[in-house]
Amino acid sequence: MDEPAGSGRDRILAAAEELFAERGYARTSTARLATAAGVPQGLIFYHFGTKEGLLLALIRERSTRTLADLVPATVPPDAHAAVAELWRRLARHLGEQTPMHRIVFRESEHHPELQDRAREIHDSIVTAVSAYLARMTGEARPAPRHQAAARMLVATSSAASVTPGAPPLAAKVVADLLLNGLG
């Protein structure tokens, strides 16, 4: 019989992502996880210590996207183009309803470590976006208005993941609004 692709640890993480998103953490047994991953149940405990350790490792390892995917490395000279590209990236990466979004929203109430990790990720994204907006306006450091704009962009783009089917905001409209506010 062929061995499933990937290491046992990777297969466990993939199975956990799928099953926790579909069924929830509490309703997914380690026996079901092991079967879905094609590994002995003890391997879950070997790699992650506990089922909660598996959940936290999943969030830590699978929820991080490189900031390069979210925030362009260079700022286009045209401010409208700069904001529009930033918005498209944020909406694409933060606005999609992924299994990780479902897991974080469903489980963070019961796992404070998950709330902390989600807050860290959010803060790092806001910091990167506010730095991009500052560079766009020719400033060396983000001012409070850059930070406020960054928080609004991140929150608005993230909200799309919990409101599937809502009409998307046009990049040009977002750019016009943001640039008017930044002055």
Determine the pLDDT at residue 18.
96
Determine the pLDDT at residue 81.
92
Mean pLDDT over each residue of the chain, to the nearest integer:
88
Determine the pLDDT at residue 1.
40
Please check whether residue 109 is in contact with residue 102, taking contact to mean a CB–CB distance below 8 angstroms. no
- All residue ranges of the chain with pLDDT < 70 are 1-5, 63-68, 183
Distances from the Cα of 6 to the Cαs of 9, 138, 150, in angstroms?
8, 46, 38
